[in-house]
Every structure is written in structure tokens, then in C-alpha cells.
Amino acid sequence: MFGTSRRTSPSFYDGAVPSLPKVAILAFVALITMVNPLAVIPSFIALTDGVSKRTRASVAFVAGVACVAVLTVFLLAGNYLFKFFGITVPAFQIMGGILFLTNALRSLITDERRAYNLGAHQRAEEHDVEKAELDPSSIAVVPLAIPMLSGPGAITSVMVLVNLYPGWTQKLAVIFAIIAVGVVSYLVLLAALPISRMIGSRGRAVFTKIMALLLGAIGIQLIINAIKPIALDIMRAS
């Protein structure tokens, strides 16, 4: 599902190099699954309770921009971090796959009232709500953008994508996907109140379960893709 480059990165498509539109679409699906802005709606409403519509829109915009900025930085710096720490692509793919799978399982089998959900978000605490009442714009970056939108799961997705799509044209496609995720997140937060009334808590729960199924499948496929080259190297060595 994530695609590959012409180098050694494994693929969901057995060596086929995906086109740039396909890279953007696959990256968007992977990232929107982890960011999951619908899951942030309850926290956003709680944190911006009692503020004006204009202020709420400003908070949503800043949160979307901050999410794009954080994910883009990790995309551009990802290879340097890998080289600095000596991390191989299969190692990070396995770690990313495990993280995706555990997050998905936690969302599928645990109570919806738990503090953490699919995208590694954390629901608003009382002191955050008090802070929002004093200065609503201060919560746009923390905790809305970080870690609710661009949390560990989304950052891990970007770190995986940077190795699956190492070419600069492919990175531009991924950046386009990141911007699209930021725009969707902004629009979802902007319409948080009507969306919350429309889909209700049950609708959000169903959507989260569907996203969790996709996330778990992505995690398992990442692990399979990482094990393949390792198994081939062991077979050649023996």
C-alpha cells in the first residue's frame, strides 16, 4: 500500500514503481488514518468551549498549519536521522508495523472512554480546558497539533514514507499529501460542532473502528515487507 522506490525498499506491489499521483494518494491514506481528525473533535470542542466562532476558526487554522509543519520537518529530516542513528529501513518498518498494529488493536478491543485512541491522541485534561478559557489560541499547537494531530503514530508514518519514497519528486508528492491532510484536519475542526451533532458519539466510534482496521492491515503488511529482504539475506548467506 505504501509503494516503493527503485532501490531496495520493499513494496506492496512487488517491485512496481508507483506514479506520483499514486504516491500522493497512498501517503494521504496512511497519514489521514493516523492523524484521524475526527477523533480530535471532542477535545477541540472542550478546549474551545465558550470562545467566539472567529477564535475557534483561528485555532483550527493554526492547528492544521502546525500539523503540516511538524510532519514536513520529519519527512525532510528523516533520512538524516536514520543515517545518524544507523537505523536500517527494515528495522524501522518492523517497528512502525508493530506500532500501527498495537494502536489498531487498542482501538478495536478497548473501551472508547480510554484516554488514548487510534492516532495516539490524548483527550483534553482539566488544566488544558482552563488554559483554553484564558487564551484559546495557545492550545492550537499544544495539545491540538502536537500530539493530538501529529502524534507519534503520524510521525512514524512519515518516517516510514521517507524511506519508501526517497526521491525528491516522490517526497514532493508526500508533502502534497501532508498538506492535504492538514487542510482536511482544518476543515474538520472548523466544522467540529455540526459534525459532532450530525454523526454523534456512535458515528465517531464506527469511523474509528474502520480506521483501526485499515491501520492494522497497514501494520501487518509493513512487517511482512520488512521480513522479506531479511529472510532473503539469510537464505543467501546460508
Domain total in the chain: 1
- 10 domain residue, yes or no: no
- 3 domain residue, yes or no: no
- 15 domain residue, yes or no: no
Q: Which three cell numbers stand for residue 71?
A: 510532519
- 2 domain residue, yes or no: no
- 51 domain residue, yes or no: yes
Q: Please report which residue ranges of the chain form alpha helices under DSSP H.
A: 20-35, 41-47, 53-85, 89-109, 126-134, 152-164, 168-190, 192-237
**Strongest mean pLDDT among 64-68, 78-82, 108-112, 200-204:** 64-68
Domain containing 164 equals 20-237
pLDDT for the residue 141: 87
- Given a cut of 60, is residue 80 above it in pLDDT? yes
- 39 domain residue, yes or no: yes
- 14 domain residue, yes or no: no
- Given a cut of 60, is residue 153 above it in pLDDT? yes
- 99 domain residue, yes or no: yes
Question: Closest Cα partner for 118 from 236, 204, 56?
Answer: 204
